[in-house]
A and B are shown apart, each in its own frame.
Chain A
């Protein structure tokens, strides 16, 4: 039992980690980023090459990859997405436009990865050592990823709730139309939130590359996982991300251990659909809109 719970928590932490960036990008910057998973895989490749090519510890690699991703995402928003935000008259229109645009972006990033690395699988070993936690053996790399997910989540949460800029960001998330009335620079904050999301997805990509096998074409899996966690937790809500991620992780581990590993993904989706039926706006979402 402890084992299943621990595995579930660690897995859930990973899901939450994957989803945190998207909840910022989608919840605040209003960009439904279908290329999200491609950015994750891109950082995984970056980490792979830093590690295998120059023997750079992935945790050190974070220091390089995360800021790069922040800048790239910021520019991306400023150059490519701002025109869409400007021309969109309604939120629905922006949703459609951002789906279309980031779908194209997804192809581009994937195409670049494919030309650079081909379609083969990649994997490397880092911190793949056993650690014993409450009498149960877990993989160090997964544990580190979990710990960092918790740290990132907490820092982000504090930033959002305790600082002025964080409060402004939340204001944009709640009501982008009224935020300018209280002198909030919505375009600037949206760009920041999108970039912060990019930084988060990069860190997720680096951490995940330590223990998952990936290829240039596996991004979409992560995009969908992230979307599910985000929607299930309530869009733009970090706490929701964490809770939804944990729920999915725990259910997956418990079902695999006690019912049937063959049903894990089905149960995940059933849980997701069930939550949405009971609370259409997600666990922490505000009802109606």
Chain B
């Protein structure tokens, strides 16, 4: 292990430790902001885990997020918390495995719309079940989980999602996925089990989303399908990840953090015209940052390296 790797490790550990003590330093509002930032960072990063290398744009984020939230709403008061999270993760992985297996033939925009339809279908089925079977719509969650707990759980999950992303990128699986993303036919010819690789990654990504939904649910007291399966979340996550740059593990976070803060700033400063301004800012970003934040950073680095390399001739 080289010195620089040790250094990265030390810096990351210090950063995690620093973030972990945040709740004791800030007020409830900044804690809430921290929770939102972590939520979107995890969701966008998890989205990027699958969509980055495979280039499949998925709008199913909210389906898994909602499944997690609903698991908590149904089981939250009956089981101990770690068990609830486990159940949520299991349900999320089973659902995503089924979806993953059934969507393999789709590509491009068909996959996009399919995943959107899927999220709606899950929502409608939950509604129908609640209406006709349990005869309640809207469930109450009264759990003894504080905002700090939610923050720490999300932080832990964030660490795991980055670790998993880092490991995948360095594994055979990650390599296989990048080849799939470049050209699926070539990947097949190389003897890569395309099906397995895609489904495995889809499931991993979905489990993270499910867990975020489950962890966030106790924050709202009340869950109904329109809250849990809010389609806006899917769109926001896609936009954040694409803006950041989904082909790097840390790319989506670079979109999620500034955009969350931007939304927050706009809805606070311009409550009446925030939508309009958000749209304008958005267009500016799209035109000014053609390949996302990651692209910008890479361009700067290339430029620097280019000027540095001129002397050495590499």
Which of A's residues lie within 8 Å of B, judged by CB? 26, 32, 80, 83-84, 87, 92, 95-97, 99-101, 103-112, 114-115, 220, 224, 227-228, 231, 235, 260, 262-263, 265-266, 269-270, 272-273, 276-277, 280-282, 289
Give B290's nearest chain A residue, CB to CB: A87
Q: How far is B55's CA from A92's CA once the two chains are assembled, in angstroms? A: 9
Interface residues of B in 262-314 (CB under 8 A from A): 272-283, 285-287, 290
From residue A224, how far is it (CB to closest CB) to chain B in Å? 7
Question: Is B110 in the interface zone, CB < 8 Å from A?
Answer: yes
Binds A, one of B65-73, B111-119, B165-173: B111-119
CB-based contact A289/B273 at 8 Å:
no
Q: How far is B262's CA from A107's CA once the two chains are assembled, in angstroms? A: 14
CB-based contact B108/A289 at 8 Å:
yes
Give A90's nearest chain B residue, CB to CB: B55
Q: How far is B280's CA from A106's CA once the two chains are assembled, in angstroms? A: 10
Number of interface residues of B (CB under 8 A): 44
In the complex, which residues of chain A have a beta carbon less than 8 angstroms from the beta carbon of B105?
277, 280
Question: Is B221 in the interface zone, CB < 8 Å from A?
Answer: no
CB-based contact A235/B109 at 8 Å:
yes
Question: Is B154 in the interface zone, CB < 8 Å from A?
Answer: no
CB-based contact A265/B120 at 8 Å:
yes
Q: How far is B57's CA from A14's CA once the two chains are assembled, in angstroms? A: 29
CB-based contact A282/B110 at 8 Å:
yes
From residue B193, how far is it (CB to closest CB) to chain A in Å? 20
Q: Mark B92-124, 1 if CB is under 8 A from A, else 0.
A: 000000000010011111100110111011001
Q: How far is B107's CA from A2's CA once the two chains are assembled, in angstroms? A: 39
CB-based contact A100/B286 at 8 Å:
yes
Give A112's nearest chain B residue, CB to CB: B276
CB-based contact B280/A95 at 8 Å:
no
In the complex, which residues of chain A have a beta carbon less than 8 angstroms from the beta carbon of B107?
280, 289
Question: Is B142 in the interface zone, CB < 8 Å from A?
Answer: no
From residue B102, how far is it (CB to closest CB) to chain A in Å? 6
Q: How far is B110's CA from A289's CA once the two chains are assembled, in angstroms? A: 12
In the complex, which residues of chain A have a beta carbon less than 8 angstroms from the beta carbon of B279?
104-111
Q: How far is B270's CA from A115's CA once the two chains are assembled, in angstroms? A: 12
In the complex, which residues of chain B have a beta carbon less than 8 angstroms from the beta carbon of A231?
109-110, 113-114
Which of B's residues lie within 8 Å of A, judged by CB? 55, 57, 102, 105-110, 113-114, 116-118, 120-121, 124-125, 127-128, 131-132, 231, 235, 238-239, 242-243, 272-283, 285-287, 290
Give A216's nearest chain B residue, CB to CB: B275
CB-based contact A273/B118 at 8 Å:
yes
CB-based contact A108/B276 at 8 Å:
yes
In the complex, which residues of chain A have a beta carbon less than 8 angstroms from the beta carbon of B231?
220, 224
From residue A256, how far is it (CB to closest CB) to chain B in Å? 13
Q: How far is B8's CA from A151's CA once the two chains are assembled, in angstroms? A: 66
Q: How far is B132's CA from A58's CA once the two chains are assembled, in angstroms? A: 41
CB-based contact B272/A115 at 8 Å:
yes
From residue B234, how far is it (CB to closest CB) to chain A in Å? 11
From residue A65, how far is it (CB to closest CB) to chain B in Å? 22
- Known pairs A84-B286, A108-B280, A111-B279; list 14 more (Cβ under 8 Å): A92-B55, A96-B242, A97-B290, A99-B57, A103-B282, A107-B278, A108-B283, A110-B275, A231-B113, A266-B125, A266-B128, A269-B117, A272-B117, A289-B107
Evaluate whether A100 and B276 lie within 8 angstroms (CB atoms) in the complex, with A87-B290, A224-B116 already known: no
The 5 A-B pairs with the shortest beta carbon distances in the complex, nearest first, are: A111-B276, A107-B279, A104-B282, A108-B279, A111-B275
In the complex, which residues of chain B have a beta carbon less than 8 angstroms from the beta carbon of A103?
235, 239, 282
CB-based contact A96/B276 at 8 Å:
no
From residue A36, how far is it (CB to closest CB) to chain B in Å? 13
Highest count of chain B CB atoms <10 Å: which of A92, A107, A227: A107
